[in-house]
Amino acid sequence: MKQTLSQFLKLHLDEPPARLYPEAIFLLRENSHLQRQRRLWALWGLIIASSAGMVGATLYTVQEVARSGFLHYVALLGSDTSTVIAHAKDFALLLAESAPVVGLALFFGAVFLLLEAFWFLKQLPREVALYSI
C-alpha cells in the first residue's frame, strides 16, 4: 500500500514551487496584521463611543439628581441627624427610591467599556499601533 501511494505521488503531484512557503508565510502575516489593525480601529471606535457615552451619562445623572432631589435628602443626614435616625427605615427607602440608578448604571457601564477598550489596546503589539498611525 505504501509503495503504491509513493508511486502515485511521484506520478501525479508536482514539486511545490520554491516561493510557495515564503509567500504563504507573508500572506499569513499580512492577514494577521490586517486583523490586528481592524481590531485597533474597532477599539478606538469603542473608546470614542464610550467617552461620549460617559459624558451623556454624566449629564443624564445630573438631571436625574436635580429632578429627584436626592442631594437634598442626603443633606438631611447632616442637618437633621436625630430625626433621620428616628425614621431610618423610611429615610433609607426614600434614598433608594430617589437614587439616580439609571444614570449611574449608564455611567458605570460607559466607564467599564472605556477601561476594557484601553486594556485590550494595551494587549495589541506596539508595531500595529505605530504602523496604523
Work out which of 29, 97, 119, 125 binds another protein, going by CB under 8 A: 97
Which residue lies nearer to another protein by CB, 48 or 74? 74
The CA-atom distances, in angstroms, between 113 and each of 31, 45, 47, 82 are 27, 11, 8, 42
Q: Which residue in 50, 57, 49 sits closest to 103, CA to CA?
A: 57
Q: Which is nearer to another protein, 27 or 71 (CB)?
A: 71
CB neighbours of residue 118 within 10 Å: 14
Stretch that binds another protein, among 11-19, 22-30, 76-84, 107-115 (CB under 8 A): 76-84
According to the binding rule CB under 8 A, does residue 94 interact with another protein? yes
DSSP 82: H
Tell me whether residue 90 or residue 127 sits nearer to another protein (CB atom): 90
